[in-house]
Amino acid sequence: MEKVREIVREGRRVAKEDPRRVVHSFKVGLVLALVSSFYYYQPLYDSFGVNAMWAVMTVVVVFEFSVGATLGKGLNRVAATLFAGALGIGAHHLASMSGATGEPILLAIFVFIQAALSTFVRFFPRVKARYDYSLLIFILTFALISVSGFREEQVLMLTHKRISTVIIGGLSCVLISIFVCPVWAGQDLHSLLASNLEKLSLFLLDFGDKYCEAVGNDDTKEVDKRKKDFDNYKSVLNSKSNEESLANFAKWEPGHGQFRFRHPWKQYLALGELIRQCAYRIHALNSYLNADDTKVPVDIKHKLREPLKTMSLESGKAMKEMSMSLKKMTKPSSCDLHVQNARSACKSLTNLLNSGILKEVEPLELISLLTAISLLIDIINLTEKILESLHELASAAKFKDKIERPLSFEKTNAKSIVCVRPIKCHDDHVVTIIEDDGNNDDTSKNDNRSKEVSNHEKYEGSDTHVHIKCVSCGGHTCLCDVVECSR
């Protein structure tokens, strides 16, 4: 009884994790019930006979979770069946010319050669990735047709029936999978990368705070909780095989939504690889959060706090933005600024280090601190590389520019995402306004705006006009010509 309850609980969890699984199960049941109607209705049964079974088999084997996998398998199966059918008939014809004794021997030899050769070709890495199933069906159909052809004399008739039932089964799978609540592998790959980026960003957004605060409270409960919060990024470490199979499926898919037929899926793999590289660094960094905290002197940590926090915060923000722009398929615009901020924080950190505040510290105590710093620098470098790769992807996949419209600053419409515009006031002082997304988590609601506009004052003149006054020169600028990025 306990066992049953456990299974039900597991079932609920599986369904909750991805409700499309339930829909998929219903779809499979539906298609199978439909196709098995071949047996029930006399006219259909009369034309196909026992061969109707092939339609049922095709449905069971071909119907996969995503459209790409189903299409790939379906096309593989139909093509292999056609090709093997033709070859099988040829083999049968050739064998039948060699007389009653020679025929079975020749057929056995044909089957042997074809099976051995095809099995060997399945080991080719490029074939294995895309045409493995095709070869399996090729071996199967060739063996069945050339051999059963030996018995039934109407080989052509048999082949014809077999192929048409396979096509009917495959087609119904493909149609249902495309038109009833489709699950696109391409969309999944796209979302997977965006969520991977987000996982890394969440780590980085919190890292600065956690690392610098870690000095005070070292109770184990706190450490355990912190560890759990951060373990999210770990799934990124082993996402390679998942990404590769999704990309393979996606290549079969027709254009859908914002994805064209020849969407640059390869570029996704390159981007995924860079994200994984970054995850490796984060994994190493994570070990410094908990292990050697106590070794770093408190006052040093305190002194380096500001630049360290900014470095991880800004790279985290850049990643968050990249994840958002990937999700929405818009060109990443303000990420460059975040990376730049991270770089300048890096610079001020090195200035601090060079100013000699570490002279008094034992080198051993520095190890953990400097390693964390070095890993952070690495992560910033990788963030830049990821951004580059994302730019490439954006231009290859023709991501939209962000839709820009005049600023309105209406309080009800607080949904503008981070948007950066340098504006010149009358005396050529450059003012930069950063508007953070209202939905972002707390960490990104930092004091960037106040810092950037620190020597400028900002007024809301009316509902639609925003003025800023340059403190240095007293000049006013109307923000009406400054554009806002709306969602």
Least separation, in Å, of the C-beta of 280 and a copy of itself? 5
Q: Which stretch binds a copy of itself (CB under 8 A): 9-17, 308-316, 337-345, 423-431?
A: 9-17
Residue 347 CB: number of other CB atoms within 10 A?
Answer: 11
Q: Establish if 166 lies at the interface with a copy of itself (CB under 8 A).
A: no
Say if residue 256 is exposed, middle or buried (CB neighbours under 10 Å; 0-12, 13-18, 19+): middle
Of these, 155, 168, 375, 419, which contacts a copy of itself (CB under 8 A)? 375
Q: Establish if 378 lies at the interface with a copy of itself (CB under 8 A).
A: yes
Q: Establish if 44 lies at the interface with a copy of itself (CB under 8 A).
A: no
Q: Establish if 281 lies at the interface with a copy of itself (CB under 8 A).
A: yes
Q: Establish if 464 lies at the interface with a copy of itself (CB under 8 A).
A: no
Query: What CA–CA distance (Å, rounded) separates 421 from 434?
Result: 7
- Give residues 239-258 in contact with a copy of itself (rule: CB under 8 A): 240-241
- The Cα-based distances of 11 to 1, 27, 35 in angstroms read 15, 18, 27
Q: Establish if 25 lies at the interface with a copy of itself (CB under 8 A).
A: yes
CA atoms within 13 A on the CB side of 69: 17
Q: Which stretch binds a copy of itself (CB under 8 A): 112-120, 213-221, 257-265, 305-313?
A: 112-120
Q: Which of 318, 485, 317, 322 is nearest to 415 (CA)?
A: 485
Give the chain's count of helices (H) and strands (E). 18, 7
Q: Establish if 8 lies at the interface with a copy of itself (CB under 8 A).
A: no
Q: Establish if 30 lies at the interface with a copy of itself (CB under 8 A).
A: yes
Q: Establish if 143 lies at the interface with a copy of itself (CB under 8 A).
A: yes
Q: Which stretch binds a copy of itself (CB under 8 A): 236-244, 399-407, 465-473, 478-486?
A: 236-244
With a CB cutoff of 8 Å and minimum separation 6, the contacts of 54 are: 162, 165, 166, 169
Q: Establish if 274 lies at the interface with a copy of itself (CB under 8 A).
A: no
> Distance from CA of residue 76 to its chain's centroid?
25
Q: Establish if 115 lies at the interface with a copy of itself (CB under 8 A).
A: yes
Residue 87 CB: number of other CB atoms within 10 A?
Answer: 17
With a CB cutoff of 8 Å and minimum separation 6, the contacts of 258 are: 329
Instruction: Give φ, ψ of 360 to 5 degrees.
Output: -80, -15
Least separation, in Å, of the C-beta of 29 and a copy of itself? 3
Q: Establish if 24 lies at the interface with a copy of itself (CB under 8 A).
A: yes
Q: Which stretch binds a copy of itself (CB under 8 A): 142-150, 205-213, 327-335, 449-457?
A: 142-150
Asked whether the beta carbons of 165 and 52 are under 8 A apart, the reply is: yes
What is the rounded radius of gyration, in angstroms, for the C-alpha atoms of the chain? 31
- Give residues 287-326 in contact with a copy of itself (rule: CB under 8 A): 287
Of these, 8, 16, 102, 109, which contacts a copy of itself (CB under 8 A)? 109
Q: Establish if 366 lies at the interface with a copy of itself (CB under 8 A).
A: yes
Least separation, in Å, of the C-beta of 12 and a copy of itself? 11
Q: Establish if 111 lies at the interface with a copy of itself (CB under 8 A).
A: yes
Least separation, in Å, of the C-beta of 291 and a copy of itself? 9
Q: Establish if 179 lies at the interface with a copy of itself (CB under 8 A).
A: no
Least separation, in Å, of the C-beta of 369 and a copy of itself? 9
Least separation, in Å, of the C-beta of 323 and a copy of itself? 23
**Coil/strand/helix, residue 90:** helix
Asked whether the beta carbons of 161 and 48 are under 8 A apart, the reply is: yes
In single-letter form, the type of residue at position 227 comes to: K
Query: What CA–CA distance (Å, rounded) separates 450 from 124?
Result: 59
